[in-house]
């Protein structure tokens, strides 16, 4: 990228000549993917109203970078090119993924972009928890993060085993996504209306994460079969696809692949719509091993799991592990209505165990994260703090 394309305000050696508000602490939001960007935006919203701070964004290199440019444009934030960012200093950086962070010159807050640290992979004879391993947390023997956000105290033991040098950087701050879903529960009627579900109607949400092991990756027939069975019973069916599905293949392609299903009544929730509104609105969820099933179960939605062979296993005793162990499986050839009844009878038990494993700071995630951010910025934390906000309802039909 040519130097002429770099921003010279509000960051840079001469920036103070041009800014309207001088002396601001600089905070960089490092966006790797649309998924991590959505999580980061919630952290940014905790601090961006502070007149002492200037927030800027950048797109970091990532295999799933498709869609990030449009996402950043939609935020209205100031976006700096990565090539410039790695040659500047910032007072703080926020990230929800790991790529390229060793090149960022700032104290860094690293947070998970899914439901905690729920995936592990085999190394020799040991299962290593992804995201809490030294390979990702260190560079040249030094810990990258100044604050590593954990959702649960149980993760401290994993961190101590896998990367002990990072333990003193750990901040147990709960799960901001879970807290927002819980805050959204009173708005269920509005979400259902926005999705076109009648007050007495039933809504099934079908969720797929990305990859060949996902629901969508393993079966092209499941959605048409579900629609054919449930439409006569008066069900609405909504599909939630991971952003990595949408942007790895392109929104146009996804809409084309699912055109027949949409003609049959499928509500295809577009990636810019907050997926959490759909699970709050749902009466029943069919999910694979992605985070949507975990959050659905954690608020008491009956969940049927699609069994898939996994290369990356759920972390032992994590919310993902408990869901995989205790949720009923979708059984081919058995009427869905009967399976939904079985899942409903299991929902309350799952809610208690999954929510307890998901966060050890229920309702306090925003406050804990905000406290950690201001500690690293070395400025007093403002007294005012917004309550946890419900997620937005879809503003228009995009399916």
pLDDT (tens digit per residue) in 53-62: 999 999 999 9
Among 181, 193, 191, 179, residue whose Cα is nearest residue 393:
191
Helix axis angle for 176-184 and 291-298, nearest 10°, is: 50
Q: Is the pLDDT of residue 66 over 70?
A: yes
- List, in sequence order, the alpha helices (H) in 2-67: 34-44
Instruction: Measure CA 244 to chain center.
Output: 11
Bridge partners for 139 per DSSP: 142
Q: Is the pLDDT of residue 147 over 80?
A: yes
**DSSP code string of 293-356:** HHHHHHTT--EEEPP---SSEEPTTSHHHHHHHHSPBP-TTS-HHHHHHHHHHHHHHHHHHHHH
Bridge partners for 93 per DSSP: 28, 108
Q: What is the SS3 assignment for 267? A: strand
Written as six digits, the tokens of 259 are 């055109």
- Mean per-residue pLDDT, 52-77: 95
Q: Is the pLDDT of residue 84 over 50?
A: yes
- pLDDT recorded at residue 3: 47
Written as six digits, the tokens of 172 are 């147990």
Instruction: Return the number of other C-beta atoms located less than 10 Å from residue 382's C-beta.
Output: 13
Q: How confident is the model at residue 399 (pLDDT cuts 50, 70, 90)?
A: low
Bridge partners for 66 per DSSP: none
Percent of the chain with pLDDT over 70: 96
Written as six digits, the tokens of 388 are 């946890």
- pLDDT recorded at residue 4: 46
Q: Is the pLDDT of residue 21 over 90?
A: no
Using CB atoms within 10 A of its CB, is residue 306 exposed (0-12), middle (13-18) or buried (19+)? buried
Rounded distance between C-alpha atoms, residue 285 and residue 255, angstroms: 21
Among 34, 295, 323, residue whose Cα is nearest residue 181:
295
- Structural domains in the chain plus CATH codes: 3-177+361-377 (3.40.50), 179-358 (3.40.50.12580)
Written as six digits, the tokens of 165 are 């040098």
Q: 105 and 88 in contact (C-beta within 8 Å)?
A: yes
Q: What is the SS3 assignment for 388? A: coil
Among 277, 313, 271, 270, residue whose Cα is nearest residue 296:
277
Among 138, 143, 121, residue whose Cα is nearest residue 130:
121
- Both ends of the chain: CA-CA distance in Å? 37
Q: How confident is the model at residue 396 (pLDDT cuts 50, 70, 90)?
A: low
Between 253 and 16, the more confident residue is 253
Q: 227 and 237 in contact (C-beta within 8 Å)?
A: yes
| pTM check: above 0.95 | no
- Mean per-residue pLDDT, 160-167: 96
Q: Rounded mean pLDDT of the chain?
A: 92
Using CB atoms within 10 A of its CB, is residue 309 exposed (0-12), middle (13-18) or buried (19+)? exposed
pLDDT digit string, tens, across residues 176-185? 999 999 999 9
Q: How confident is the model at residue 2 (pLDDT cuts 50, 70, 90)?
A: very low
Instruction: Measure CA 100 to chain center.
Output: 20
Rounded distance between C-alpha atoms, residue 113 and residue 96, angstroms: 5
Rg of the chain taking only CA atoms, in angstroms:
21
Q: 173 and 372 in contact (C-beta within 8 Å)?
A: yes
Spell 41-57 as b/e; 16+ CB within 10 A means b: bbbbebbeebeebbbbb
Rounded distance between C-alpha atoms, residue 238 and residue 218, angstroms: 18
- pLDDT recorded at residue 387: 85
Q: 363 and 388 in contact (C-beta within 8 Å)?
A: yes
């Amino acid at each position: 990228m040519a130097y002429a394309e770099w921003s010279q305000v509000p960051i840079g050696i001469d920036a103070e000549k041009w800014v309207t508000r001088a002396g601001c602490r600089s905070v960089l939001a490092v966006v790797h993917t649309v998924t991590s960007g959505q999580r980061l935006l919630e952290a940014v919203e905790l601090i961006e109203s502070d007149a002492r701070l200037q927030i800027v964004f950048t797109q970091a290199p990532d295999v799933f970078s498709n869609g990030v440019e449009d996402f950043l444009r939609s935020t209205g934030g100031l976006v700096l090119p990565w090539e410039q960012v790695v040659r500047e200093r910032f007072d703080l950086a926020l990230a929800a993924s790991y790529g390229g962070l060793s090149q960022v010159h700032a104290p860094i807050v690293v947070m998970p972009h899914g439901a905690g640290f729920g995936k592990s992979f085999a190394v020799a004879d040991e299962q290593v928890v992804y995201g809490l391993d030294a390979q990702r947390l260190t560079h040249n023997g030094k810990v990258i993060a100044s604050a590593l956000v954990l959702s649960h105290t149980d993760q401290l033991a994993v961190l101590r085993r896998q990367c002990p040098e990072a333990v003193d950087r750990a901040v147990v701050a709960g799960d901001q996504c879970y807290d927002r879903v819980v805050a959204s529960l009173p708005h269920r009627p509005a979400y259902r209306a926005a999705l076109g579900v009648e007050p007495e109607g039933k809504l099934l949400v079908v969720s797929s994460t990305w990859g060949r092991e996902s629901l969508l990756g393993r079966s092209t027939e499941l959605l048409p079969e579900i629609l054919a069975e449930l439409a006569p019973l008066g069900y609405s069916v909504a599909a939630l696809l991971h952003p990595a599905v949408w942007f790895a293949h392109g929104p146009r392609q996804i809409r084309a692949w699912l055109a027949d299903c949409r003609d049959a009544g499928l509500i295809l929730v577009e990636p810019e719509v907050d997926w959490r509104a759909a699970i709050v609105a749902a009466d029943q969820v069919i999910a694979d091993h992605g985070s949507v099933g975990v959050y659905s179960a954690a608020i008491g939605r009956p969940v049927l799991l699609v069994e898939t062979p996994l290369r990356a296993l759920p972390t032992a005793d994590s919310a993902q592990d408990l869901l995989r162990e205790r949720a009923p499986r979708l059984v081919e050839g058995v009427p869905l209505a009967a399976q939904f009844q079985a899942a409903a009878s299991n929902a309350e038990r799952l809610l208690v165990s999954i929510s307890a494993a998901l966060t050890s700071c229920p309702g306090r995630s925003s406050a804990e994260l905000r406290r950690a951010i201001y500690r690293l910025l070395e400025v007093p934390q403002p007294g005012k703090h917004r309550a946890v906000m419900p997620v937005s309802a879809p503003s228009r039909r995009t399916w």
